[in-house]
């Protein structure tokens, strides 16, 4: 089955984001809330998870499962975005309006993933 080009764009987005977890792990560790243990392991695991799910949405047999897992992953990432908004160090000097905008963006990404379940 051939999927629309924008599903492959989504795949590339998650694969690229996952690769960045390995290229810049300290940046990702810095944004994690202190109450989460094992920042290094969490960053590497989430990066690998994003890469695997990015590839998995490209195949009919794994697409729907991967999309559901992407939605769940994005829910788990919400506390990180909220933490970045309220913690100056985690916010990395990013303008507050951008940090605020990222929260509804998470929901838009969830909706984007959900929209491909019909294909």
pLDDT per residue, tens digit, the chain (119 aa), is 589 999 999 999 999 999 999 999 999 999 999 999 999 999 999 999 999 999 999 999 999 999 999 999 999 999 999 999 999 999 999 999 999 999 999 999 999 999 999 77
Q: Which of 119, 13, 104 is nearest to 63 (CA)?
A: 119
Q: What is the reported pTM? A: 0.91
Q: How far apart are the first and last CA of the chain?
A: 9
């Amino acid at each position: 089955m051939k999927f629309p080009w924008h599903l492959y764009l989504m795949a590339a987005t998650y694969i690229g984001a996952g690769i960045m977890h390995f290229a810049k792990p300290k940046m990702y560790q810095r944004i994690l809330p202190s109450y989460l243990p094992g920042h290094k392991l969490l960053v590497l695991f989430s990066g690998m998870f994003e890469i695997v799910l990015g590839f998995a949405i490209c195949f009919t047999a794994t697409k729907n499962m991967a999309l559901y897992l992407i939605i769940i992953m994005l829910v788990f990432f919400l506390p990180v975005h909220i933490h970045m908004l309220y913690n100056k160090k985690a916010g990395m000097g990013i303008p507050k309006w951008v940090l605020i905008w990222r929260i509804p963006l998470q929901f838009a990404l969830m909706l984007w993933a959900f929209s491909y379940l019909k294909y």
